[in-house]
Amino acid sequence: MEKIKVAWAATIQFLKEARAELKKVTWPTPKEALASTSVVIVVVIIVSVFLGFVDMGLTKLVRMVLG
């Protein structure tokens, strides 16, 4: 029973500290969040297309080498 009390107290302390830290965070505005999300999506698409072309090229190269 004592272990449960200690664990509960530690959990409560952790949650209090986490809440205090979250109050210090500078949260982005909806406009900033949308802009950042848009940039991430565009970069992911560009990198995906690039890696797709690299994959196709390497696949053709391996097929040429292996016959």
43 contacts 51 by C-beta, under 8 angstroms:
no
pLDDT bracket for residue 22 (50, 70, 90): very high
Q: What is the pTM of this model?
A: 0.65
User: CA 29, CA 66: separation in Å to the nearest integer?
Assistant: 54
Domain ranges for the chain: 2-66
Residue 53: what pLDDT?
98
pLDDT (average), residues 28-51: 98
Residue 67: what pLDDT?
82
